[in-house]
Amino acid sequence: MSVMTIHTNDNRAVRYALRCTALLTLILFLPGCGLSPNYARPDLDLPASYTETAAESTLPDGTVMPAPVAAYSAENRGWWRNFSSPALAVLQERALVNSFAFRAEREVLAQALYRARQARADLLPGIDAGGSANRSGRGMPGGYQKTDAFSGTIQASYELDIWGANRETAQAAAHRYIAGLNAWRGAGLSLESEVALTYFAYLAARENLAVYDEILVNAREVLAYQQTREKFGAAAPLDVARQRSSVYGMEAGRISYLVKMTETRNSLCQLIGVAELPPDIAALMEKETLAEMVPPAIMAGIPADLLLRRPDLAQAEANLKASNADIGVARAAFLPGITLSASAGWQSDSLSSLISPASALYSLAASLLQPVFHNGRILNQYRETVAANRELMDRYREAALGAFLEVATALDSNKFLQEQEAHRVLSSEQAAEAYRIARLRYEAGAEDFLAVLNAQETMLYADNQVVQSRLERLNTVVALFKALGGGWGREAAPLEDASGGV
């Protein structure tokens, strides 16, 4: 590299530029004063824990139902594994990987991440580089006079973050990314819940269909018996018509469960992202029944602060924090803004001498802008931001209260539905016994046929109610774990490039 001599004026210019650069660097890394209010989580006047589930109950037959025990930690993912259902486990795993809706939520989260990083970019100067080459000519006596011009520049501009507006904007965007992360978590929790509810609905429809088919066998036997007696004048045509009507009604009723099975099966396909259930999953589903779906025991004394890990509450709080930062940005809009710009480069009429001290040039500039009159726009923007913050505070409190009550409702409902299921099982057993006795008495001539018909309908209703009660209880347990957050509150972001933070 050749050593070039720099004139005294050039030395002074370079030293001045270096001093300015050092000053700008110092200013750049000086933290701006934040104008946003100090964040404090809104007070929640809620009990410390749920204790209503710690009681035992006694069934009509004298069976004592023990109090729930802490058999499951609601802080863990995979709550659905506690139902001991291989089919449900496979459905959940496939849904979390293949659901198009859930995959779309991941891309929504990615957009929030990139928006947050865009906002953070304003914390550092913007630097651009450029160059140009130009040749011009004009006619002269004897030919053209040609002129060449070459230039290369580096430009930097930076808005001094004296009042912390840029930093607050970046913070708001970061909090909105966290809100988006919790929205993604909430979508995952909702997907898991929907898969469980849909699968249980499928099993319930199939078992109700089995109830109809089993009772139809008995009903057809009774009809055949009645028709035989009618031939010999031992049965009234009215009794035969009543039984025939009952059989037709049952055959029509079972069709609604065939439709329900089709609907729920196709819904499961939608949830796991396939057009048809894979044979391995279908085979697992055929082996399972609602009666085998034993809900996990619900712990007594669940801490209420567990609700703060619910994705929807975490999302609401992140939005509240973002709104808090927005207030700082709105306050900074009242104050002057200072923008610094600098450029350096070379300009020469010869490319060979472009990079030389004699061709160097630089420019430093600072500008100040103070809002003076905007007809109330800035003031009302600030007021709007403050009102939005108050709105989000109330919405957070509303969401927290709703979450607490959701859990309380699910806990109480689970206890009551457990008792209801036990009562309905007893009712079903007695209805079957009543049907058996009524049929025997009718065949012995000690009872009219109407008693058989009534007992038959009662048995059908009671058996359906057992299935419905089991379904309601399972759905309530699903609702409980969903209300507790299902372990999604700490689920890591699914983005590969999110490890570096926002």
- State pLDDT tens for residues 394-431: 999 999 888 888 888 888 888 888 889 899 999 999 99
64-65 and 126-140 beta bridge pairing:
unpaired
Q: Which CATH architecture has domain 1-30+128-160+336-369?
A: Single Sheet (2.20)
d(CA 120, CA 128): 18
Q: Do domains 1-30+128-160+336-369 and 43-123+164-335+377-498 have the same CATH topology?
A: no
Residues 296/76, Cβ–Cβ less than 8 Å? no
Buried b (16+ CB within 10 A) or exposed e, 288-318: bebeebebbbbbbebebebbbbbbbbbbbbb
Cα separations in angstroms, 300 against 82, 317, 358, 407, 473: 17, 27, 83, 12, 17
The ranges assigned to domains in the chain are: 1-30+128-160+336-369, 43-123+164-335+377-498
d(CA 59, CA 443): 35
Q: Closest Cα to residue 174, out of 125, 126, 122, 112? A: 112
pLDDT at 356: 67
Query: Please, is 43 exposed, middle or buried when counting C-beta atoms within 10 Å of its C-beta (0-12, 13-18, 19+)?
Result: exposed
* Residues in the chain, pLDDT under 50: 1-8, 14, 53-55, 57, 59-60, 63-73, 498-500
Phi, then psi, of 448 in degrees rounded to 5:
-80, 170
pLDDT digits (tens, 9 = 90+) for 74-97: 555 788 888 889 999 999 999 999
pLDDT digits (tens, 9 = 90+) for 459-491: 999 999 999 999 999 999 999 889 888 877 677
Fold of 43-123+164-335+377-498: Outer membrane efflux proteins (OEP) (1.20.1600)
d(CA 5, CA 42): 67
Residues 393/324, Cβ–Cβ less than 8 Å? no
Q: Which two tokens stand for residue 416?
A: 């009551």
One-letter amino acid of 393:
M
pLDDT at 64: 46
Q: How many CB atoms lie within 10 A of CB 263?
A: 14
Residues 229/495, Cβ–Cβ less than 8 Å? no
d(CA 211, CA 463): 7
The residue assigned the tokens 């104050």 is 335
d(CA 381, CA 96): 42
- DSSP string across 83-137: G--HHHHHHHHHHHHH-HHHHHHHHHHHHHHHHHHHHHHTTS-EEEEEEEEEEEE
Q: Which two tokens stand for residue 229?
A: 């007696």
The residue assigned the tokens 């009242």 is 334
d(CA 383, CA 432): 70
* pTM listed for this prediction: 0.80
Query: What residues pair up with 151 in beta bridges, in sequence order?
Result: 132, 347
Residues 420/467, Cβ–Cβ less than 8 Å? no
d(CA 200, CA 194): 10
Query: Please, is 163 exposed, middle or buried when counting C-beta atoms within 10 Å of its C-beta (0-12, 13-18, 19+)?
Result: buried
The C-alpha angle with vertex 190 and arms to 184 and 192, in degrees rounded to 5, equals 105
Residues 335/160, Cβ–Cβ less than 8 Å? no
The whole-angstrom distance between residue 496's C-alpha and the CA centroid of its chain comes to 19
pLDDT at 50: 58
Q: Where are the extended beta strands (E) located within 260-409?
A: 302-303, 337-348, 360-369
- Kind and range of the H or E run holding 50: strand 49-50
- Kind and range of the H or E run holding 251: helix 237-272
d(CA 411, CA 302): 10
Q: Closest Cα to residue 250, out of 437, 431, 464, 471? A: 464
The residue assigned the tokens 């931001």 is 385
